[in-house]
Chain A
Amino acid sequence: MIWSKIRYPLTEGLRSLIRHPLVTLASMTTITLMLVLMGAFTVFSVNARHIMEKAGQQPPIEITMELGVYPTVLIEVESALKADSNVLDFQRYSPQENFNMFKSSMENEDLFEDFPVENIPYTYSIRLVDPDYGEAFQAQISGIPGVRRVQLELTVMRFLSKAIVWVNYVTLAALLVLGVIAFFIISNMVRVAVFSRAEEINIMKYVGATNLYIRVPYILEGAIVGMLGALAAWLIVGVTYDKIYEILLAGATPDDFLTLVRTDQIKRLVLMINLVLGVGVGAVGSAVSVRRHVKV
């Protein structure tokens, strides 16, 4: 009984695809183009965010402690850093280590042999998960007794966080514009399909077909076109990204600062976005169009 109810919408939805192959091809191509463009934006956006996050995680924050602090103060600071989920990692540098680094950066290290190490403080280098959190972090750590100064590279961090916001805006705008275009194209495809089958639809109405029964094949048709377009676009974006990744990052390691997101991650993400958008736009575009043109 259930099969007899869904057989018609299913078979008609599939049949309709081959009944007007050129219209189907045109719709699918447009969806594919839209989703390739969308995929390109996604790849750009994800990689931009990835690079920005990596850049933001380079230690731009340094905590300088008071001279001669007790170990208990250091423990307190480290507990605060460990408890903060936004702290990606931190590194403590003792006065001796700081002195050695300072010396090695000088041309003539011998000049500093007698320099008293007690005059150099403990320091911490911090990497944050989100560069946006920098100022709040500064305020919080500055309040701990024994902390002399928290230095922030605010200019870089502000630029990074603004850039991420803009990339998000551009991606969203592209998604909306391309989504609307695809929506109208799918609607048009369904309109052509409905008009070409107007006679059959009329007959269906006369023999007692419900709105849902008449509309479902068209919605399925739109969803299938959307899905095929999404898969084609995914293939194009995936293959292209593979090539770009291969060329640009032949000798790089994933921990490098200027690295791209791994191809399998990108492919998974693009596939998911494409399927949701393709099937969604296809089905909704069809539903709206068929709702307008088919009324019992």
Chain B
Amino acid sequence: MIEFDRVSKRYVTGTHALRNVSFTIEDGEFVFIIGKSGAGKSTLIKLLTCEEQPSSGNVRIDQIDVSALRRRLVPYLRRNIGMVFQDFRLIDSKTVFENVAFAMEIIGASRRSIRRRVPIVLSIVGLRDKARALPRQLSGGEQQRVAVARAMVNNPLLILADEPTGNLDPASSEALMALLEQINQSGTTVIVCTHDRDLVDRMKRRVLEIQDGNLVRDDRSSGYMTKRTKVVAAQEGTDESDSGSGEEAAP
């Protein structure tokens, strides 16, 4: 279970990235975090991965207060979190197999278990036949699937995806979300930060909306916008796809 308890984050520059944010995510949930650029989504992810510490409040994962975690223990926390990024973040000089195996090597897995596990994971993401390819020889969608394979290879409790479909065409986005959903069905908690309105609308999963550092919405089985936002957007003819639920979002 992930718990944000009155979490605020203020950077040294004076920017208030998060203000008194509280929410709970149960094990095995699939949650979208939405909000316009600079709303605080990335900070929220950084607090979960201990890249940043909250200025006040607590972030707990499985009852462990990760905001008070000692630095030397941070890597061990991260081994339970799979990360997927918009820009894939694959190592160009390594093959698909090596990129995925890399995550296992780091935790000291034996070569035997790497040889056994990586092909299975590559099969799940549909890239077993591309194991020897280099990232530059793959399409964007395929590269992102490699990133997902790397994120899931160590059986993490949680997968954090930061704008995973940002660089993908609709078909690849669709395939990727199906893959994340499949991973979620196996019991892994999945948190996806996104701007993709269609995606959020279609998947009907829980949505947390961050606006100017505040949690302004926590809807289960909801779409990208609330009904009220949709009405206002239609009236004003504005595209909300890049601005979360906009000014009209109801808390």
Contact = CB atoms under 8 A, between A and B. Distances in A.
Nearest to B94: A200
Contacts of B83: 206-207
Contact of A1 (B72, B75, B76, B108): B108
Interface in B44-79: 49, 71-72, 74-79
B91 interface: yes
A204 B74 CA distance: 13
Contact of A206 (B89, B105, B108): B89
B110 A203 contact: no
Contact of A209 (B71, B106, B150): B106
14 contacts: A1-B110, A4-B111, A8-B106, A199-B89, A203-B102, A206-B89, A207-B79, A207-B83, A207-B103, A207-B106, A208-B80, A209-B75, A209-B106, A213-B75
A202 B89 contact: yes
Contacts of B111: 4
Interface in A171-219: 199-200, 202-211, 213
A204 B90 CA distance: 11
Q: Top 8 closest A-B pairs, CB basis?
A: A208-B79, A208-B78, A207-B103, A206-B83, A210-B75, A209-B106, A208-B75, A5-B108
Contacts of B107: 207-208
B231 interface: no
Nearest to A6: B108
B234 interface: no
Nearest to B105: A8
Interface of B: 49, 71-72, 74-80, 83, 89-91, 102-103, 105-111, 150, 154
Contacts of A4: 105, 108-111
A296 interface: yes
Nearest to A2: B108
Given A8-B106, A208-B106, A213-B106, 19 more contacts: A4-B108, A199-B89, A202-B89, A203-B91, A203-B102, A204-B106, A205-B75, A206-B49, A206-B78, A206-B83, A206-B89, A207-B78, A207-B79, A207-B150, A207-B154, A208-B154, A209-B75, A209-B106, A296-B75
B188 to A, nearest CB: 16
A205 B78 contact: yes
Contacts of A8: 105-106
